[in-house]
Amino acid sequence: MINTLKYQSQAVAKPYFIAAIGLFVGQVLFGLIMGLQYVWGDFLFPEIPFNVARMVHTNLLIVWLLFGFMGAAYYLVPEESQRELHSPKLAIALFWVFLAAGVLTIIGYLSVPYATLAQITGNEFLPTMGREFLEQPTITKIGIVIVALGLLYNLAMTILPGRKTVVNVVLMTGLIGLAVFFLFSFYNPDNLVKDKYFWWWVVHLWVEGVWELILGSILAYVLIKTTGIDREVVDKWLYVIIAMSFITGIIGTGHHYFWIGTAEYWQPLGSIFSALEPIPFFMMTLLAFGAVGKRKRDHPNKATVLWALGTGVMSFLGAGVWGFLHTLAPVNYFTHGTQITAAHGHMAFYGAYVMIVITIISYAMPFLRGTGNAANRRAQFTEMWSFWLMTISMVFITLFLTGAGILQVWLQRFDDGQPFMVVQDKIAAFYWLREAAGVVFLIGLIVYIISFFVKSKEPAEA
């Protein structure tokens, strides 16, 4: 019995959050390996070639964010629905299935050549592997679908007989969308153009579509809890935010259809609509600052409020501004597939999805650990240090990659251009700086983990 939890079944969120943080550490370590390989070409070669490190880096990111989303859902849905989770046992069973699938897949990447992994997992029967971010063996993908279906069933059986709020319905819609669009990862036509066209239905319609619903609903929930803002007001904002996400983001998929062999009308369509994609993120920034500025109570968990505000700002900068920088077709013609894309990817994922998961973890963990509605002041102080270390170092990672990208475009893409590897040598200084910023990010992450173990110096309250 955990006294701080309104519904005991919310406790199933805890292992999800712990796994998320653990895999986050793995993701960052492999990011540092890759960053080093950019400047020290044969580092860990041929044991861990770059492509393997990158798979581990990106796949761990996806898996730990999914752990975070699922944990968030299991935590907030019972409270929003005002009843216990339909089946806590199912939630725990799915946790172990997902963790096993994730860990075994990573071990597979690291222990055998990728072609061998494809062979022993029977990729030839239903070839889905070897496409960016969808490198998982087909059997892992099936596992992900099973876990997602189990999650949706469990949540639906909780929400349907319970109280339906805008927050839990929007979250549920986002999670259903996540599961539906993932099914396109099983479609791998021989025609490369068609393959690429529908590959984006997973990748773009996740991060610039349905994931924004998950982000918006978690942010709305945390703001309601920490600032006491009226539900009516938040609901209205949430509807407009997700409306703008879909209105801009769906046709905005077209910014990926400029140069892959699809009809040319995607150039104006993709440019115009994706140029509007910053709007929902800007509205999230306004919502977060508005709610905190007009707060009706001072929640003792200051760290959570900081993370929530940070999500608003950094998602707008990373996804909105850095996305806009290279989204117009005439600009993208020169920047497509350069370090500019990497710069945008890093800040967008951190600002939007990493930060919202940390926000909900920061809010929920004190309740889940039974320590009250907030960690002690010293622990929060440590956590806020980790916020600034990680956020500022991510800003610098993004700036250095942007610098590398601008130079790369200039040297490689204009006039006759210089060969790829010649240019890579010339921009190595930026890669070194990025690696240094990456080390600071890891330090920030370590400080974040330490914050969970910082004890109060004040005498324990009765």
Partner 1 sequence: MSEIFSKSMARNIYFGGSAFFIFLFLGLTWHTVKVLPETDNSAALTEEVILGKKVWEDNNCIGCHTLLGEGAYFAPELGNVYKRFGNSTEAIKGFIKSRPVNGIPGRRSMPQFNLSEEELNAIAEFLKYSSEIDTSNWPPNIQG
Enumerate residues 245-264 that contact partner 1 by CB under 8 A.
Answer: 246-247, 250-251, 253, 256-264
The Cα 243–Cα 311 span in angstroms is 19
456 lines the binding site for partner 1 (CB under 8 A) = no
Instruction: Give the long-range contacts of residues 228-231, CB within 8 A, separation 24 or more.
Output: 228/295, 228/296, 228/297, 229/291, 229/294, 229/295, 229/296, 231/165, 231/166
With CB under 8 A as the contact rule, the residue among 15, 24, 81, 135 that binds partner 1 is 135
420 lines the binding site for partner 1 (CB under 8 A) = yes
On whether the CB atoms of residues 220 and 240 are closer than 8 A, the answer is no
Shortest Å distance, C-beta 76 to partner 1: 20
CB-nearer residue toward partner 1: 277 or 383 = 277
DSSP letter for 75, please: H
Q: Which of residues 173-192 bind partner 1 (CB under 8 A)?
A: 188, 190-192
Q: Which of residues 272-331 bind partner 1 (CB under 8 A)?
A: none
With CB under 8 A as the contact rule, the residue among 105, 165, 339, 386 that binds partner 1 is 339
Q: What is the amino acid identity at position 92?
A: I
239 lines the binding site for partner 1 (CB under 8 A) = yes
The Cα 205–Cα 290 span in angstroms is 28
The Cα 265–Cα 276 span in angstroms is 17
217 lines the binding site for partner 1 (CB under 8 A) = no
DSSP letter for 112, please: S
With CB under 8 A as the contact rule, the residue among 3, 125, 330, 421 that binds partner 1 is 421
Q: Which of residues 40-79 bind partner 1 (CB under 8 A)?
A: 40-42, 45-46, 49-52, 54-55
211 lines the binding site for partner 1 (CB under 8 A) = no
CB-nearer residue toward partner 1: 337 or 370 = 337
CB-nearer residue toward partner 1: 260 or 313 = 260
Per-residue burial over 317-340, b = 16 or more CB atoms within 10 Å of its CB, e = otherwise: bbbbbbbbbbbbbeebeebbebbb
Q: Which of residues 374-413 bind partner 1 (CB under 8 A)?
A: 412-413
Shortest Å distance, C-beta 418 to partner 1: 7
CB-nearer residue toward partner 1: 7 or 40 = 40
With CB under 8 A as the contact rule, the residue among 9, 10, 81, 123 that binds partner 1 is 123
CB-nearer residue toward partner 1: 41 or 370 = 41
Question: For the chain, what is the total number of helices (H) and then of strands (E)?
Answer: 19, 0
Shortest Å distance, C-beta 412 to partner 1: 5
Nearest C-alpha neighbor of 231 from the set 304, 177, 279, 168 = 168
Shortest Å distance, C-beta 213 to partner 1: 10
Instruction: Count the neighbouring beta carbons within 10 Å of the beta carbon of residue 64.
Output: 25
The Cα 344–Cα 394 span in angstroms is 11
The Cα 305–Cα 379 span in angstroms is 15
With CB under 8 A as the contact rule, the residue among 25, 104, 156, 342 that binds partner 1 is 342
Q: Is 134 helix (H, G, I), strand (E, B) or coil?
A: coil
> Which residue has 């071990």 as its token pair?
107
CB-nearer residue toward partner 1: 212 or 383 = 212
267 lines the binding site for partner 1 (CB under 8 A) = yes
- What Cα–Cα distance (Å) separates residue 125 from each residue in 141, 194, 413? 14, 20, 40
Shortest Å distance, C-beta 437 to partner 1: 17
The Cα 298–Cα 316 span in angstroms is 25
